[in-house]
Structure 1
Amino acid sequence: MGYWQQSGETVTGMARAIDGDSLRLGQRELRLAGIDAPELHQTCQHDDGIYPCGREARGYLDSILARAPVTCTMREKDRYGRDLALCRQGDIDLNAALVRAGQAVAYGRFDAEERQARAGRRGVWSGRFERPAEWRRAHPR
């Protein structure tokens, strides 16, 4: 079932990606817990050159969200007041799936999924990139 007990508030419905690790479900903005995706304006590099990995991560999440409703269980709030959530689409743990696809890195959880993505050179692991937390420090708002 993932790394949390299913004990927090749960919401279900169609959602839209805000960025690679945040989504809007109804009137709520949710942050996917335990992962960190490239920032929307972040770029990465692979053999073909520089590419907009932040926009790619958002597009990847949005394509998954467009398929079917999601069920998100809130656990706590982040420093911006967003609910941190574990989201599922049927049997798929979205948080883990994004890390496994290399569209996000582990951020406190999902280390095994990150190792799989790195070994398979998927997503950001296909080239060079700054971890999103490092990129935010170098590019403050």
Structure 2
Amino acid sequence: MFRICFLLCVLVQPVSASADVAGFVRVIDGDTFDVAGQRVRIFGIDAPEGKQTCETEQGTLWPCGAWVSAKVSDLYDGNGAVCSQVDLDRYGRIVARCSVDGRDVGEDLVSRGLAFAYRAYSMEYDLVEKGAAINDRGLHESRVQNPAAYRAERSRPPHPNCAIKGNISKNGRIYHMPGQHDYERTGINEASGERWFCTQLGARLAGWRKARR
């Protein structure tokens, strides 16, 4: 019944600048949704990457990135969302504030300790994150590397002349050259078999193929 009511409300509501994208949610990861088939990056928050690990107080590593994605899916997957666009990021994704049942998604995720305030872009959730940290909610029970620092670390070649990224994904072993479409967003996790290459020939001989774009 809710899905029908939400769909009817979306169809009959007037077009406005405050409701740029409206539809049902498919969770991609902790801070990224597909809403009505459009990729949406939640404004003002930053969640651990899917392959990111965290460390308990006892020094045990655990897959916090995958855990966050699963928790966010439990909360929002299949729900109706209304998103107001703030910007477009460098990957062409819509950056937006989203709400579900009138609840601010970004604030909710930061409050639960499933994401951090992305202070490089907004201080909107700064106090919300501090409240979650004080109460040891979610990720704040562990030692967590800042997601932006984690991405930067995985994107830094060991040598300036060895900057080809050998990524492993569901599509197989693919290498990305500097300047290609997905180069910047691709991280290298050597623990899972991904690696850096100095030449395309070296990458091909090792079993990687070049990204199509």
Q: How does 1:120-135 map to 2 (within 5 A)?
A: 120-135=135-150
Check conservation: 2:85, 2:97, Cα contact below 8 A.
yes
Corresponding residue of 2:151: 136
Higher Rg: 2
Q: Indicate whether 1:12 and 2:49 are aligned.
A: no
Taking only aligned residues, the RMSD between alpha carbons, in angstroms, comes to 1.6
Check conservation: 2:19, 2:82, Cα contact below 8 A.
no
SS at 1:138's partner residue?
A: helix
Corresponding residue of 2:34: 24
CA–CA separation in structure 1 for the residues paired with 2:68 and 2:89: 20
Q: Which runs of 5+ in 2 are unaligned?
A: 1-15, 156-186, 188-213
Scaled by the length of structure 1, the TM-score of the pair is 0.89
Q: Which amino acid aligns with 1:26?
A: A
What's the offset of the Cα at 1:34?
Answer: 0.3
CA–CA separation in structure 2 for the residues paired with 1:29 and 1:110: 22
Q: Which has the higher contact order (CA 8 A, sep 6+)?
A: 1
2:74 to 54, 58, 63: 63
Corresponding residue of 1:43: 53
Q: How many residues align?
A: 136
Q: Which amino acid aligns with 1:124?
A: L
CA–CA separation in structure 1 for the residues paired with 2:139 and 2:69: 13
CA–CA separation in structure 1 for the residues paired with 2:56 and 2:24: 33
Q: Indicate whether 1:85 and 2:100 are aligned.
A: no
Q: Which runs of 5+ in 1 are unaligned?
A: 1-5
Q: Which amino acid aligns with 1:27?
A: G
**Percent of aligned pairs sharing the same letter:** 32
Check conservation: 1:8, 1:75, Cα contact below 8 A.
no
Q: Indicate whether 1:74 and 2:85 are aligned.
A: yes
What's the offset of the Cα at 1:15?
Answer: 0.7
Check conservation: 1:14, 1:65, Cα contact below 8 A.
no
Corresponding residue of 1:53: 64
CA–CA separation in structure 2 for the residues paired with 1:34 and 1:7: 19
Corresponding residue of 2:168: none
Check conservation: 1:72, 1:87, Cα contact below 8 A.
yes
What's the offset of the Cα at 1:30?
Answer: 0.3
SS at 1:14's partner residue?
A: strand
Scaled by the length of structure 2, the TM-score of the pair is 0.60
String of CA shifts for 1:64-84, please: whole Å, max 9, x gaps.
213631111111101111000
